Amino acid sequence: MSAHRIHRYIAREVTIPALLGLLVFTFVLILGRLLKLAELVINQGVPLGQITTLFAYLMPTFLVITIPLGFLLGVLLGFTRLSTDNEITAFKSTGVSLYRLLRPVLFCALAASTLTALATLVIAPACKQLFRSQVFEIALNQASIKLQPRTFNTDFNGLAIYANGVDEQSGTMQGILIADERSGSAPAVILARSGRIIPDSSQMAVTLRLNDGTIHRKPEQKSAETYQLVSFANYDINLNLGQQTPSKENRYRKPSEYALGELITSLRTAPDAADRAGFSIELQRRLILPLAPLLFALIGVPLGVQSNRSGRSSGFALALIVFLLYYMFLSLAQTLVEEKNFPVILTMWSPSVLFFAASIYLLRITASERRLPLADWIRDRWRVARRLLRRRGLA
């Protein structure tokens, strides 16, 4: 078999399960958001087209995770099958070393890294901004729809709003009565001659601006005779639409929503050290995550060959373990930078360097046809776990 055919064969063995894993893992992440978005359709009457748009904006964020994870699964399943069927041994008998078998895997990893880099550096930040803008637009539309004339609208948290009339063209309301029972303040009744909805896209807030009115409030902690009456020319009330509008701490753009150029500029010009650390962490994450498929290729090939005795079913569990370990170390590094003021670059890159060193060690051990003692221990524990699961299933 020529080298070209071997490379195509290995690439196919890795790519097919990787694509299947990509679809499965992406679908699982979508399910996590599906219920929340379905609630907007069922309870809020949001058009299905807008929900579909929200899903499209979420996809690049999911792909940043599922592309490396799916690729790792493909490498482990592919090489576990090749090793289980003794094809690795057959290749070695014809003079094809493990390092030569690694070449097509690295080529596939480079393609996966390119897609991950495109999603991480360009597409995902832009889609996160578009997602927030779309959610804000939905909230604004829902606020306008719910404020109907001669009807008490109670869909706003802690507020019951009544308007005697609503001008459909300008959106101005006349003869407004509001029962304010929001937490953190004494119950109040607000009367206003007019009012209208004011969107604030910079802070992702929907405000009801009232004109020429009064606030009637009876403080809870004072005597029964105490009564407050406040007159105002203008009075703003923030309309909280629950999950549709972000909380106060989430209204401003996060570093993950900055375009790459904006992120670098903000890192250079931010006056506060904590802000600079946040921008630096985000920049390092965007540079690190695209390298994950390359790391997973280096560590997945020897692990797949070493796990041949554990059976093909162990590949899925092993992929999750390796993936979770990598991202756990990455999250730990981020925590150390944020809370303990560790050096950003050195700390954030430490997990990748650690995994790279481990992968080189595993490659050398596997290429020399030696077994890892830990691999046999994992194989035995896996068999015990499978027997226990089978017994419980039969019971």
Q: What percent of the chain has pLDDT over 70?
A: 87
Q: In this predicted model, which residue has the larger pLDDT, 308 or 74? A: 74
Q: What per-residue confidence (pLDDT) applies to 70?
A: 96
Model confidence at 245: pLDDT above 80: no
Q: What per-residue confidence (pLDDT) applies to 253?
A: 80
Model confidence at 113: pLDDT above 50: yes
Domain-ending residue, one of 210, 239, 268? 239
Do residues 364 and 229 both lie within one domain?
no
- Per-residue confidence band for 312, with pLDDT thresholds at 50, 70 and 90: low
Average pLDDT over residues 365-382: 73
Model confidence at 371: pLDDT above 50: yes
**Any domain includes 145:** no
How many domains does the chain fold into? 2
Average pLDDT over residues 59-67: 96
**Any domain includes 72:** yes
Least confident span in 52-56, 126-130, 147-151, 293-297: 147-151
**Domain with 233 in it:** 158-239
**Any domain includes 248:** no
DSSP state letter for 204: T
Q: What's the angle, vertex CA 25, arms to CA 24 and CA 30, rounded to 5?
A: 95
Do residues 265 and 335 both lie within one domain?
yes
Do residues 263 and 202 both lie within one domain?
no
Determine the number of helices (DSSP H) and then strands (DSSP E) in the chain. Answer: 11, 6
The pTM of this model reads: 0.82
Model confidence at 270: pLDDT above 70: yes
Model confidence at 120: pLDDT above 60: yes
Domain-ending residue, one of 239, 266, 283? 239
Do residues 276 and 371 both lie within one domain?
yes
Sign of CA dihedral 33, 37, 43, 48: negative
Do residues 271 and 389 both lie within one domain?
yes
DSSP state letter for 241: -
Average pLDDT over residues 49-69: 93
Do residues 122 and 32 both lie within one domain?
yes
**Any domain includes 10:** yes
Model confidence at 328: pLDDT above 50: yes
Model confidence at 145: pLDDT above 70: no
Q: What per-residue confidence (pLDDT) applies to 361?
A: 92
Q: What per-residue confidence (pLDDT) applies to 78?
A: 94
Do residues 358 and 288 both lie within one domain?
yes
Do residues 265 and 386 both lie within one domain?
yes
Do residues 71 and 20 both lie within one domain?
yes
Looking at every residue in the chain, the average pLDDT score rounds to: 86
Query: Where do the DSSP E strands lie in the chain?
Result: 153-156, 159-166, 173-180, 188-200, 205-217, 228-238
**Any domain includes 150:** no
Do residues 134 and 263 both lie within one domain?
yes
**Any domain includes 378:** yes
Q: What per-residue confidence (pLDDT) applies to 395?
A: 42
Average pLDDT over residues 230-254: 72
Do residues 15 and 101 both lie within one domain?
yes
**Any domain includes 246:** no
**Any domain includes 45:** yes
Q: CA–CA separation, 99 vs 101, rounded Å?
A: 5
Q: What per-residue confidence (pLDDT) applies to 116?
A: 98
Q: What per-residue confidence (pLDDT) applies to 374?
A: 62
Do residues 118 and 262 both lie within one domain?
yes
- Per-residue confidence band for 103, with pLDDT thresholds at 50, 70 and 90: very high
- Per-residue confidence band for 110, with pLDDT thresholds at 50, 70 and 90: very high
Average pLDDT over residues 188-211: 86
Domain-ending residue, one of 205, 239, 273? 239
